[in-house]
Amino acid sequence: MPDSAIRRLLEFDNQVQRDRDQNPVFLHRRDRRFALDCHKQGVNPDPDRWLEHVRRLSNRASTNDPLKPWRRMTTGFALAGLVAGTLAMLGLLFYDGGQQINLTVILAFVLLQCILAVVTTAQAVAGWQPWRWLLRKLLASRPSSALQTLQPLLMARAAHAGGLVFGIAGLITLLVLVVIQDLAFGWSTTLNTGTDSYYRLLATIATPWQHLWPAAMPERELVDATRFFRSESSTNTDPALWGSWWPFVTMTWITYVVLPRLALLMLTIVHTQLRARKALQAHHGWIALQYRMETPTVDTGNRHNDAADQPDTTTSARLQPLPKAQAIIRWAEAGKPALPRAIIAGDQELLAAGGSASLEHDHHIVKQANQQLTRALTPAAIIITRSWEPPTGELADFLQQARDAWPKHTTIALVPMAPQPDQSPPDHQLSQWLRFAERTGDERMVVSTPMTTPPDILMHRALQDEDE
pLDDT digits (tens, 9 = 90+) for 237-247: 555 566 678 88
* Residue stretches of the chain with pLDDT short of 70: 1-2, 59-66, 96-99, 132-145, 190-194, 228-243, 297-316, 337, 345-347, 451-468
Task: Say what the pLDDT of residue 265 is.
Answer: 94
Q: How far is CA 113 from CA 8, 88, 134, in A?
A: 34, 12, 22
Measured CA to CA, the distance from residue 320 to residue 141 in angstroms comes to: 37
Contact 447, 414 (CB under 8 A): yes
Per-residue b or e along 102-140, where b marks 16 or more CB atoms closer than 10 Å to that residue's CB: bbbebbebbeebeebbeebbebbeeeebebeeebeeeee
**Closest-CA residue to 101 (of 219, 248, 214, 201):** 248
Measured CA to CA, the distance from residue 147 to residue 374 in angstroms comes to: 39
Q: Does domain 327-467 have CATH number 3.40.50?
A: yes
**Closest-CA residue to 243 (of 172, 169, 177):** 177
**Closest-CA residue to 239 (of 291, 185, 201):** 185
Contact 424, 449 (CB under 8 A): yes
CB atoms under 10 Å from CB of 322, counted, come to 25
Domain boundaries, the chain: 68-276, 327-467
Q: Beta partners for 353?
A: 331
Q: How far is CA 342 from CA 217, 320, 322, 338, 448, in A?
A: 89, 14, 8, 12, 11
**Closest-CA residue to 13 (of 149, 125, 128):** 149
Question: The sheet that has 445-447: what strands, in order across it?
Answer: 350-353, 327-331, 380-386, 411-417, 445-447
Contact 334, 352 (CB under 8 A): no
Listing DSSP states for 213-280 in one string gives -GGGS--HHHHHHTB--TT-S---S-HHHHGGGHHHHHHHHIIIIIHHHHHHHHHHHHHHHHHHHHHH
Amino acid identity, position 210: Q
